[in-house]
Structure 1
């Protein structure tokens, strides 16, 4: 009797162990599948962002070894106006990512090309509104008290920024459109090739033809428009047959709701980009403006390299959340968020350690100045801390974009950066005389508070309710395939006439 009971107990234990192994195997397989899906989106997205930003860095590297005043002028223009506009365009394009991702998850493929065309119309309009700010960048900077010699150089180089501005409209929106349907591997290839093309053109213009800062900016425009043209060829050339059915008059329908969502998205990200721009602007009022601006912009570039990797993961979080919301699976949404947060944490810790180890040496890529190198080395500790704080925040922003919660994040950014971060940095600079280290410390405080608030918001989010909201949005904004086809056909008939 006791032996029979013992055998039964042993069978139960073995069965329990087998079940545990089965569950463990299922969990590992589930994690691996999610990681594979995540990197399928994140890797090309990271390549696109890193190489796009790399083109800006290449221009600065060549300028920095040509003229210190030119370096400060380019850093000031890039860190204020270009960065701000880039943030607005990236933010507005994230509305395309939200809608295309949810449409793809809901299998409303015919709407994705329509959303892309609507985004072109809206983003082109907004980009045009920013052109006067580029034209009058020099006078505006002088009006707020920036160094006259530096801003005179800004007057010379602003025309090169305008074509770059319009290239962003197309590169950003098409990248989001392709990313939402898991076809962004081509983006990684295109952007990488364009990056090396930009290096070659910049070297030729600066080192061979002696065009200086103008040659560096010409190389920037060549690389950015090479990406845009290649994307047009891919999208319009028949490689997206289910989601691109041609130009359609349906693109002019429901522009106002998309405009509102785009502006919320743009406001969300531009607050983040502009935050760094204001800090660079404030560094122009310090004792040695050339050294301060150059050192801070170099640290900003290092920070932005890591940020662009995080933004690649943010894109993965956005697409995964949007796809699963479109499918109506709230549990899959929560699982995707957990996986991408863990991966981001590992990358952030590694990057922070590298900055601590090699902070001072990196500055010689951008400038030969010993003073700039010492200033960068002094900032390396604060830089590494800010990277640690920045591990979670972009991922949470990506989750918000995927769920269409851009407005909430915009208000969080406004409060944490502008009501807390900048005033705190100003106190450290002008009262405690901490210099540019105080400015960066204020940013760290702002990012930390923003991260805590977003963690709370995401923790309290009812994802079942978000699934319902997504279904309602799809019902409201989706046109029937027959409607889209008829409008496309009527457009084609008009073109033939």
Structure 2
């Protein structure tokens, strides 16, 4: 099946490139690297900016809440990081199943299947949202159970009740985003996210501070902003028909749901295990003797790592789209070439970011704290932060490759073994038994990331891409139903 030259141009199943024009093959590796880089940046650039804008919605709300009072700041912070963070991870993970299915269907030229896939994902995620509602309702005792004070738990629990609409916005938003990403319509999402962020900033200031609505105003604006994103994206899809990918609501949305559930659950497990891994670092560090300084220091490092992760998320989305599109089109060697290009690009950026972190280790802590003790502890952790930033430049890319190819179940098992059987116990032993404190905890967990990244490198290197293209064709045919016929 794989007779495509390594440096040939991909097809979308109609003898055209993803952007519709025909391209002549080239035998110049340097030129082709540049061509592929432009394709990747065309996807990754808007995806990075979109992730930053949507990440900033919660950050802005948290900032305004902090100007109201300490308990309001704690309530929003805890709800965002624990309750909404849990829901975000589950919803994003389950929605990521569409990166495989929509991307491969688009590459195969079966456009009308994308709309059916999105509707199936809506059914599954809306059902999951209903199952997650009790976590919001009973969040105060849950937060007390994991160590939060009664006062903060009560305030965060009240805020969580107001934030239930956001949960259902997540359920619609992530399938929509994967639907649009698969068609490389990332610029649309970017402009919507930028517009909503401006709206959110202005009206959050008005409702929370100027009109004095406090936490209720924060909840209303955060819910409204997420639903505005969903509404604008849906409006774009319904009006434009997304070049034929949307042909209206269909009863096929309820067909073969079990196959979708299995892939969605595997995607959720895979992503959540990664998403929560470094969050656990702060929880474990809080169990150290005199934990205030190390917890503050690690929180600063995780804040920087979170912003840097937005770059990785963009490349994750880009390579997932490229791999799924090319496999769906039967271009196995082009999929492999895309993996090489994005890996080299992402690692180069990771090296640069690591150098910046280490070079500014004596200065950046003071952007977040006035405490000399916290600043010194943060400086001491800067080397580990630099290593984490470097690893996180490649690891999400390889995870994106896995999603694009449909390896979610395999990677979920790899993550369990590397993160929670190796990395987490190693961190606990180094931190508590050998008394290395926060440095030991973080070092052990970095070991888990290193092992997982190494295994994914080996898995990707040994992949038979021709076989993956055949499996993509089989998947498109098996789950397409009558919607796949052109």
TM-score of the two chains, using structure 2 as the length reference:
0.88
Q: Distance in 2 between matches of 1:208 and 1:328?
A: 57
Asked if the contact 2:112–2:245 (Cα under 8 Å) also holds between the matched residues in 1, the reply is yes
Q: Distance in 1 between matches of 2:485 and 2:325?
A: 24
Asked if the contact 2:92–2:268 (Cα under 8 Å) also holds between the matched residues in 1, the reply is yes
Q: Distance in 1 between matches of 2:347 and 2:242?
A: 34
CA RMSD after TM alignment: 2.5
Q: Give the CA deviation at 1:348.
A: 1.1
- Hey, what does 1:382 align to over in structure 2? 384
Q: Distance in 1 between matches of 2:70 and 2:446?
A: 28
- Hey, what does 2:352 align to over in structure 1? 350
Alpha carbons of 1:280 and 1:91: their partners in 2 closer, same or farther (altered >3 Å)?
A: same
Q: Distance in 2 between matches of 1:276 and 1:333?
A: 30
- Hey, what does 1:259 align to over in structure 2? 261
Gaps spanning 5+ residues in structure 1: where? 1-22, 485-497
- Hey, what does 1:170 align to over in structure 2? 172
> Bigger CA drift: 254-263 or 74-83?
74-83
Q: Distance in 1 between matches of 2:217 and 2:288?
A: 30
Alpha carbons of 1:383 and 1:146: their partners in 2 closer, same or farther (altered >3 Å)?
A: same
Q: Give the CA deviation at 1:54.
A: 1.7
Superposed counterparts of 1:183-332, under 5 Å: 183-287=185-289, 293-332=295-334
Q: Distance in 2 between matches of 1:324 and 1:267?
A: 25
Give the aligned length.
462
Asked if the contact 2:110–2:485 (Cα under 8 Å) also holds between the matched residues in 1, the reply is no
Bigger Cα Rg: 1
Asked if the contact 1:75–1:293 (Cα under 8 Å) also holds between the matched residues in 2, the reply is no
- Hey, what does 1:15 align to over in structure 2? none
Deviations 1:257-292 (A, max 9, x none): 111111110110011112133223323434556665
Alpha carbons of 1:340 and 1:278: their partners in 2 closer, same or farther (altered >3 Å)?
A: same
Q: Distance in 1 between matches of 2:236 and 2:342?
A: 29
Q: Distance in 1 between matches of 2:429 and 2:68?
A: 36
TM-score of the two chains, using structure 1 as the length reference:
0.86
Alpha carbons of 1:173 and 1:359: their partners in 2 closer, same or farther (altered >3 Å)?
A: farther
Asked if the contact 1:417–1:447 (Cα under 8 Å) also holds between the matched residues in 2, the reply is yes
Q: Distance in 2 between matches of 1:295 and 1:66?
A: 25
- Alignment partner of 2:240: what SS? coil
- Hey, what does 1:460 align to over in structure 2? 462
Alpha carbons of 1:410 and 1:385: their partners in 2 closer, same or farther (altered >3 Å)?
A: same
Deviations 1:121-169 (A, max 9, x none): 1011112111111222221122244333432332232123322222112
- Alignment partner of 1:480: what SS? helix
Asked if the contact 1:178–1:184 (Cα under 8 Å) also holds between the matched residues in 2, the reply is yes
- Hey, what does 1:408 align to over in structure 2? 410
Asked if the contact 1:76–1:280 (Cα under 8 Å) also holds between the matched residues in 2, the reply is no
Q: Distance in 1 between matches of 2:156 and 2:277?
A: 21
- Hey, what does 1:55 align to over in structure 2? 57
Asked if the contact 2:26–2:32 (Cα under 8 Å) also holds between the matched residues in 1, the reply is no
Deviations 1:468-497 (A, max 9, x none): 11111122111234989xxxxxxxxxxxxx
- Alignment partner of 2:418: what SS? helix
Q: Give the CA deviation at 1:363.
A: 5.8
**Is residue 2:118 matched to residue 1:119?**
no
Asked if the contact 2:312–2:396 (Cα under 8 Å) also holds between the matched residues in 1, the reply is yes
Gaps spanning 5+ residues in structure 2: where? 1-24
Asked if the contact 2:46–2:187 (Cα under 8 Å) also holds between the matched residues in 1, the reply is yes
Q: Distance in 2 between matches of 1:476 and 1:175?
A: 23
Q: Give the CA deviation at 1:377.
A: 4.1
